[in-house]
Amino acid sequence: MFFFYNLLLACAAVLSLPWWVFQMRLRKYRSGLWERLGSVPARLKNTRPGAIWVHAVSVGEVLAVSQLITELQLKYPDRQILVSTTTATGQSLARERFGPDRVFFMPLDFGFAVRPYLNVLKPHLIILAETEFWPNLLHLAGKRGTSLATVNARISDRSFPRYRLFRWFFGRVLSEMDLFLAQTAEDADRLRAIGAATERVRVSGNLKFDIRPSSQFPFVNDLRLAISKDSPVIVCGSTAEGEEGALLEAFRTVQGQFQAAIMVLAPRHPERFEKVANLISTAGFALQRRSLWSPQQPVKAGIFLLDSVGELAAVYALADIAFVGGSLVPSGGHNILEPAQYGAAIVTGTQTFNFREIVSLFQKGDAIRIVTAETLGSQLLALLSQPEERKRLGGRAKDLFARHAGATLRTLDALGPLLARQKRDGL
| 8 Å CB contact between 89 and 27 | no
Please choose, from the candidates 153, 126, 154, the residue with its C-alpha nearest in 3D space to the C-alpha of residue 139: 126
Paired strand residues for 384: none
Give the 3-state secondary structure percentages of the chain, helix then strand then coil, rounded to 5.
50, 15, 35
* 415: number of Cβ within 10 Å: 25
What gap in Å lies between CA 30 and CA 370, rounded to an integer?
38
Point out which residues pair with 266 in neighbouring strands. Answer: 237
Measured CA to CA, the distance from residue 391 to residue 376 in angstroms comes to: 18
Going through 26-137 in order, the beta strands assigned E by DSSP cover: 52-55, 81-85, 103-105, 125-129
Task: Provide the 3-class DSSP secondary structure of residue 346.
Answer: strand
User: How are strands ordered across the β-sheet holding 201-203?
Assistant: 103-105, 81-85, 52-55, 125-129, 147-153, 179-182, 201-203
Phi-psi region of 344 (alpha: psi -120 to 50; beta: other; left: phi over 0): beta
3-state secondary structure of 417: helix
**How far is 232 from 343, CA to CA, in rounded Å?**
15
Strands 147-153, 81-85: pairing is unpaired
Q: Which of 84, 79, 89 is nearest to 114 (CA)?
A: 84
Phi-psi region of 146 (alpha: psi -120 to 50; beta: other; left: phi over 0): beta
Length of the chain: 427
Residue 362: C-alpha distances to residues 52, 147, 213, 336, 373 (Å): 35, 36, 20, 9, 20
Among the listed residues 35, 61, 244, 311, the single catalytic one is 61
Q: Are 404 and 366 in contact (CB under 8 A)?
A: no
Q: How far is CA 256 from the centre of its chain?
A: 35
Concerning whether 35 is annotated as a catalytic residue, the answer is no
Catalytic residue annotation: 61
